[in-house]
Structure 1
Amino acid sequence: MNNLSGLPKLWLTKSRLDMATVYALADQADNGAVVIMSGMVRNQTGGRAVDYLDYQAYEPMALQIFQNISDRCHEHYPEITSVVIHHRLGKLSIGEISVLIAVGSPHRAAAFAACENAIDTLKADAPIWKKEYWRDGDSSWVVKKTC
């Protein structure tokens, strides 16, 4: 994913996510900071062993929510230069990246604050659903919680 031409800043994909690509999309010459939040599949939830996760989304609406998140971040943190949100869909194994958010800014405080706001809003508002498949063979949908 090193060729950035045509790669969107707001993206849903079944392909593996790449931290270097997201960083490059957020980076600009006037940045003093690029903050990246990486969400990964962990091996347990609440002490219960996870086998893998499956992410599904209502894609047109999710991308609109991503745009709304970006717009609100730019409105609340006017010094930031860019917001990048990439989310993976489909089956993900332990250790794989499910979401990357990168925020570029001349100063780190705004980048950190905007990045935290972006992931909190995404988790609360985006129509993306996660099903956990447990090592014991059972599975369950994760119920969204408001951040």
Structure 2
Amino acid sequence: MSSSDLVSFVAITGDAVLDCATYRSKLDEPPNRPGLCGAVATFEGLTRDDFQGKKVLRLEYEAYAPMAARVMLRICEQAREKWPSLKKLVAAHRTGHVPSGSASIFIGAMSPHRGDAMDAVRYLIDTMKEEVPVWKKERYDDGSGAWKENPDCKAPGKRWAASSAAADDDKRDGREVRLRKE
């Protein structure tokens, strides 16, 4: 696979359901190169139904989609620098109402080696939770709600080295950024 064949796909979507199977299919090997990679690692973030004894009905996500997609793509590029063997990366985040049990984020990585794919997925979810401008509000069955802060993000770079500043360069060298609104 040449460097021009490397794929990073990111999406911010307002779809009623985050179709993880569709995003997973973007990690399939090219038909002309079966056996190219030995690993595909994925992560699906689901809405939990309980927070400290409160029944959670749904999460409500908001994002400034163009900026969120640029930040997600930058984080994918950083992962490629850390793990050069990565062939494909996919990251999709849902906005709007996400009921308990439903997926709000999908992350995937394809690599010849499982360690790189798994490490990249962990890096991508950790860093995206820290840096991507997406906000969530929890809605409870008693009618109340609360804007949520990710407690893992209080010390940025706790697990991973600090990332570089965001670039506003829209030249993507064949990498795809897709934005869809509800």
- TM-score (normalised: structure 1): 0.90
Query: Partner of 1:27 in structure 2?
Result: 28
- State whether residues 61 and 127 of structure 1, in contact with CA within 8 Å, keep that contact through their aligned partners in structure 2: yes
Q: Deviations over 1:51-104 (max 9, x none)?
A: 111000011110111111110111000001111001000011111100000100
Q: Does 1:98 align with 2:104?
A: yes
**Runs of 4 or more consecutive aligned structure 1 residues displaced over 4 Å after TM superposition:** none
* CA distance in structure 2 between the partners assigned to 1:140 and 1:35 by the alignment: 32
Q: Does 1:128 align with 2:134?
A: yes
Give 3-state SS (helix, strand or coil) of 1:104's partner: strand
Q: Does 1:66 align with 2:67?
A: no
Query: Partner of 1:55 in structure 2?
Result: 61
* Identity level (%): 34
Task: Compare CA radii of gyration and give the structure with the larger one.
Answer: 2
Q: CA deviation at 1:46?
A: 2.2
- State whether residues 23 and 34 of structure 1, in contact with CA within 8 Å, keep that contact through their aligned partners in structure 2: no
Q: CA deviation at 1:124?
A: 0.4
* CA distance in structure 1 between the partners assigned to 2:24 and 2:38 by the alignment: 13
Q: CA deviation at 1:23?
A: 1.6
Q: How many residues align?
A: 140
Q: CA RMSD in A?
A: 1.3
* CA distance in structure 1 between the partners assigned to 2:127 and 2:149 by the alignment: 15
- TM-score (normalised: structure 2): 0.73
* CA distance in structure 2 between the partners assigned to 1:71 and 1:126 by the alignment: 14
Query: Partner of 2:177 in structure 1?
Result: none
* CA distance in structure 2 between the partners assigned to 1:128 and 1:34 by the alignment: 26
Pick from 26, 37, 42: which aligns with 2:48?
Answer: 42
* CA distance in structure 2 between the partners assigned to 1:131 and 1:17 by the alignment: 18
Query: Partner of 2:14 in structure 1?
Result: 14
Query: Partner of 1:5 in structure 2?
Result: none
Structure 1: state its 5+ residue gaps: 1-7
* CA distance in structure 2 between the partners assigned to 1:10 and 1:74 by the alignment: 14
Question: Which amino acid in 2 is paired with 1:42?
Answer: R
Give 3-state SS (helix, strand or coil) of 1:70's partner: helix
